[in-house]
């Protein structure tokens, strides 16, 4: 890809990195993509972008792309390049054979938050309609599944409440466990603009992220909590709001469930939740916490934005619930400037969850146990849908080790690198008899695969992504698929090879099927998206042009439900051998495990993962800035360079996870969220010691 010249034509499409969902004009000379220009009519970005969307698309042309299907009988054999027909027939025969030998629930799928809504819909349809089970899960399992649970239980739907425009009306913004400057840069710019206009900021994060103090911005409060104590902090804020009479009683009386509120009040009033009572646990000075709670409750329109620092904990779902409670207590729901807003990491986390990727939910967050919901799909698909929820990713791996789960179709997700407890993932994959990896590049997971099906980039297909504000954006084909087929076509070919009568000729037909089966999407069509540019679900008869803001007159579940948020300490404990707590994040120029950003051909993308360590902790260990250090936990160890900084508190260290060499997930534990199994990536007890290098 070259970055020059006068374009001959352009195609408007959507960035495939983060959940902001910026629109771009992809400019071409002939068939050559020469430039990505932020699209000024894009409703999520209005002509703005960050470096990733603007420049990091070179991976589409990288020589590492695998363009021919490959198969092998055993994972210790070399790959054999074959034609598409042979690869698909090989895969279909293996998967059908496994079901004959071990039962229909012995195989499953993993969908990807990187792929389009239409592709994700088809992959879960493959599991439910062709495999005949609900063994479908998504990589959102390891990021925002607690959002699905927490917001579903309290408000009735798994989605952010506001559009991005809403922040322009906020008076107080609380950012919890998120670093928008690096993770969601275009939204961060809008937030910073509002802060420069005078809105107040509360940051709840173990690390002094950029927002705490940057150009013309200074947070009113930085609650630098000890990793793993989110629930205690959020509950203490609620305690202050309740005990100091800062609640919005009219909102609660009108909009919330009486019985759940009474139970919650009894719980939250207890003195054991007072900021003073949890100060030594959380490390947050009680006076700061009290002032922050008062500011959020009485500072005008209060908005909460949160990220993986909330969800990737053993109590991730409890913290999401606690945040939802805070917003209801203070009446900060249902108008511009307020709300509860998960900042989604990947481009289509929202969409992959909407499309029924979870093993207990059909599209639109409807439980598989509902005969009415199953009936909608059964009538259309002409199959009987399994009424038992299927296996989550960790359960698939457990079952594989135990010998009952034998085959996996994994689209657009490198579970061996991105899921916790690498050794267990490897053991699970090694125990399977057929692993089909459908991806752009060979990766860690494909080392255990028997079939490799080449994937397509976002530039090579039509479809839609749904961003963090529920905005459905069109993805438009900029160039022909380099490996002949777009991902949705490959899934269809696999389904056909297994005997299914699928005959989609364009992703718009898949969207029509989504609309026909999913009430919150019933008004969505490619025609509407062409006409409106984008639309925010729910889009149906009740809101034909979509809904920028949710829960305006009532919650989706009717009355908002308060839920008690008892703090339970993680089982991961520091001690003499592992006295420090490791938490993780990402940098602006890199993206997740770096499969794409490391292949952009631009040296700027190759910054290494560093270990941030406080000067006191570094001095105690004889570590100088830039030294190699050994980072060890109970699970494993790795080597990386130290960066000495007071951004982290004493006792806390921090790193990113962009490079496979660093293997941060060798370090992390296998603890997970109690409700959803989302891994506890953000709390690991570690030791740091000098090293001579890798």
Complex with ligand SF4: residue 293 or 535, whichever CB lies closer:
535
Give the C-alpha distances (Å, rounded to integers) separating 294 from 197, 329, 549.
21, 12, 25
Give the nearest distance from C-beta 144 to ligand SF4 in angstroms: 16
Give the nearest distance from C-beta 124 to ligand SF4 in angstroms: 24
Per CB under 6 A, 21 contacts ligand SF4: yes
Complex with ligand SF4: residue 472 or 582, whichever CB lies closer:
472
Give the nearest distance from C-beta 311 to ligand SF4 in angstroms: 18
* 3 state SS of 586: coil
Per CB under 6 A, 53 contacts ligand SF4: yes
Complex with ligand SF4: residue 45 or 99, whichever CB lies closer:
45
CA-closest candidate to residue 15, choices 114, 143, 112: 114
Per CB under 6 A, 420 contacts ligand SF4: no
Q: Are 11 and 476 in contact (CB under 8 A)?
A: yes
Residue 492: both structure tokens together: 């269809």
Q: Which one of 50, 231, 295, 490 is in contact with ligand SF4 (CB under 6 A)? A: 50
Per CB under 6 A, 351 contacts ligand SF4: no
Rounded to whole angstroms, how far apart are CA atoms 538 and 540? 6
Residue 372: both structure tokens together: 């009415």
Give the nearest distance from C-beta 534 to ligand SF4 in angstroms: 13
Q: Which one of 18, 87, 212, 353 is in contact with ligand SF4 (CB under 6 A)? A: 18
Per CB under 6 A, 613 contacts ligand SF4: no
Q: What residues have CB less than 8 Å from 245, skipping those under 6 apart?
A: none
Helix (H) or strand (E) holding 304: strand 302-306
Complex with ligand SF4: residue 19 or 156, whichever CB lies closer:
19
Per CB under 6 A, 437 contacts ligand SF4: no
Per CB under 6 A, 222 contacts ligand SF4: no
Complex with ligand SF4: residue 140 or 236, whichever CB lies closer:
140
Rounded to whole angstroms, how far apart are CA atoms 114 and 90? 26
- Burial tier of 642 (Cβ tally within 10 Å: 0-12, 13-18, 19+): buried
Give the full edge-to-edge strand order of the sheet including 23-29: 9-14, 23-29, 32-38
CA-closest candidate to residue 593, choices 24, 253, 142: 142
Alpha carbon 484 to its chain centroid, in Å, reads: 29
The CB-nearest residue to ligand SF4 is: 53
- Interface size with ligand SF4, residues (CB under 6 A): 14
Q: Which one of 49, 136, 158, 492 is in contact with ligand SF4 (CB under 6 A)? A: 49
Sign of the torsion angle spanned by Cα atoms 268, 271, 276, 280:
negative
> Which residue is listed with tokens 């120029």?
589
CA-closest candidate to residue 112, choices 87, 148, 151, 141: 141
Point out which span in 74-82, 180-188, 446-454, 653-661 binds ligand SF4 (CB under 6 A): 180-188
Q: DSSP secondary-structure letter at 597?
A: G
Per CB under 6 A, 647 contacts ligand SF4: no
Alpha carbon 458 to its chain centroid, in Å, reads: 18
Complex with ligand SF4: residue 262 or 604, whichever CB lies closer:
604
Q: Which one of 129, 180, 185, 428 is in contact with ligand SF4 (CB under 6 A)? A: 185
Q: Which one of 10, 12, 13, 17 is in contact with ligand SF4 (CB under 6 A)? A: 17
Residue 105 CB neighbours (<10 A): 19
Cis status, amide bond into 4, omega within 30 of 0: no
Q: Which one of 22, 212, 293, 436 is in contact with ligand SF4 (CB under 6 A)? A: 22
Give the nearest distance from C-beta 164 to ligand SF4 in angstroms: 11
Complex with ligand SF4: residue 50 or 500, whichever CB lies closer:
50
- Burial tier of 170 (Cβ tally within 10 Å: 0-12, 13-18, 19+): buried
Point out which span in 18-26, 398-406, 622-630, 678-686 binds ligand SF4 (CB under 6 A): 18-26
Complex with ligand SF4: residue 347 or 411, whichever CB lies closer:
347
CA-closest candidate to residue 407, choices 182, 97, 78: 97
Bridge partner list, 10: 27
Give the nearest distance from C-beta 42 to ligand SF4 in angstroms: 9
Complex with ligand SF4: residue 21 or 523, whichever CB lies closer:
21
Per CB under 6 A, 345 contacts ligand SF4: no
Point out which span in 45-53, 138-146, 505-513, 649-657 binds ligand SF4 (CB under 6 A): 45-53
Residues in contact with ligand SF4 by the rule CB under 6 A: 15, 17-18, 20-22, 45, 49-50, 52-53, 184-186
């Amino acid at each position: 890809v070259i970055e020059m010249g006068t374009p001959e034509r352009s195609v408007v499409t959507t960035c495939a990195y983060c959940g902001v969902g910026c629109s771009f004009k992809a400019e071409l000379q002939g068939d050559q993509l020469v430039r990505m220009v932020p699209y000024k009519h894009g409703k999520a970005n209005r002509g703005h972008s960050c470096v990733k969307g603007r420049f990091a698309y070179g991976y589409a042309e990288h020589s590492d792309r695998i363009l021919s299907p490959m198969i092998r009988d055993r994972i210790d054999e070399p790959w054999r390049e074959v034609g598409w027909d042979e690869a698909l027939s090989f895969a279909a025969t293996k998967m059908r054979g496994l079901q004959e030998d071990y039962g229909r629930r012995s195989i499953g799928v993993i969908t990807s938050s990187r792929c389009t809504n239409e592709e994700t819909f088809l992959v879960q349809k493959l599991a439910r309609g062709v495999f005949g089970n609900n063994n479908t899960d998504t990589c959102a399992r390891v990021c925002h599944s607690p959002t699905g649970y927490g917001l579903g239980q309290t408000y009735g739907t798994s989605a952010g409440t506001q559009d991005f425009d809403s922040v322009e009306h906020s008076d107080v913004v609380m950012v919890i466990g998120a670093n928008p400057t690096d993770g969601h840069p275009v939204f961060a710019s809008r937030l910073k603009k509002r802060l420069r206009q005078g809105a107040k900021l509360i940051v709840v994060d173990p690390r002094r992220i950029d927002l705490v103090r940057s150009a013309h911005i200074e947070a009113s409060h930085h609650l630098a909590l000890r990793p793993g104590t989110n629930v205690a902090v959020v509950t203490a804020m609620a305690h202050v709001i309740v005990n100091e009479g800062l609640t919005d009683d009219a909102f609660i009386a009108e909009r919330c469930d009486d019985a759940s509120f009474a139970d919650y009040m009894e719980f939250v009033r207890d003195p054991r939740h007072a900021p003073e009572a949890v100060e030594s646990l959380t490390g947050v000075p009680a006076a700061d916490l009290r002032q922050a709670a008062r500011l959020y409750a009485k500072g005008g329109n209060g908005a909460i934005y949160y990220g993986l620092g909330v969800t990737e904990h053993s109590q991730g779902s409890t913290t999401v619930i606690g945040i939802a409670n805070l917003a209801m207590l203070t009446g900060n729901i249902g108008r511009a400037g307020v709300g509860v807003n998960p900042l989604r990491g990947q481009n289509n986390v929202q969409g992959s969850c909407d499309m029924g990727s979870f093993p207990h939910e059909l599209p639109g967050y409807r439980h598989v146990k509902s005969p009415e919901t199953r009936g909608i799909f059964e009538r259309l698909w002409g199959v009987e849908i399994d009424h038992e929820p299927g296996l989550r990713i960790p359960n698939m791996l457990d079952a594989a080790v135990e010998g009952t789960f034998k085959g996996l179709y994994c689209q657009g997700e490198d579970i061996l690198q991105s899921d916790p407890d690498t050794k267990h993932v490897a053991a699970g994959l090694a125990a399977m008899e057929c692993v089909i990896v459908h991806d752009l590049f060979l990766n860690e997971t494909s080392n255990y695969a028997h079939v490799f099906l080449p994937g397509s980039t976002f530039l090579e297909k039509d479809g839609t992504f749904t961003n963090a504000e529920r905005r459905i954006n069109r993805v438009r084909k900029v160039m022909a698929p380099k490996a002949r087929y777009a991902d949705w076509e490959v899934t269809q070919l696999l389904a056909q090879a297994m005997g299914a009568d699928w005959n989609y000729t364009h992703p718009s037909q898949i969207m029509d099927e989504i609309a026909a089966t999913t009430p919150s999407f019933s008004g969505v069509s490619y025609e509407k998206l062409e006409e409106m540019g984008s639309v925010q679900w729910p889009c149906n008869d009740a809101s034909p042009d979509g809904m920028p803001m949710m829960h305006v007159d009532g919650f989706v579940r009717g009355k908002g439900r308060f839920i008690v948020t008892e703090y339970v300490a993680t089982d991961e404990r520091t001690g003499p051998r592992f006295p420090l707590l490791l938490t993780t994040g990402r940098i602006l120029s890199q993206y997740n495990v770096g499969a794409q950003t490391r292949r952009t051909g631009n040296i700027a993308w190759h910054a290494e993962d560093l270990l941030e360590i406080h000067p006191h902790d570094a001095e105690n260990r004889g570590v100088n800035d830039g030294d190699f250090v050994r980072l060890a936990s109970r699970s494993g160890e790795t080597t990386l360079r130290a960066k000495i900084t007071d951004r982290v508190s004493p006792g806390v260290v921090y790193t990113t996870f962009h490079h496979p060499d660093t293997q941060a997930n060798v370090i992390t534990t296998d603890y997970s969220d109690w409700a959803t199994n989302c891994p506890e990536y953000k709390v690991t007890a570690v030791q740091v010691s000098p090293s001579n290098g890798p």
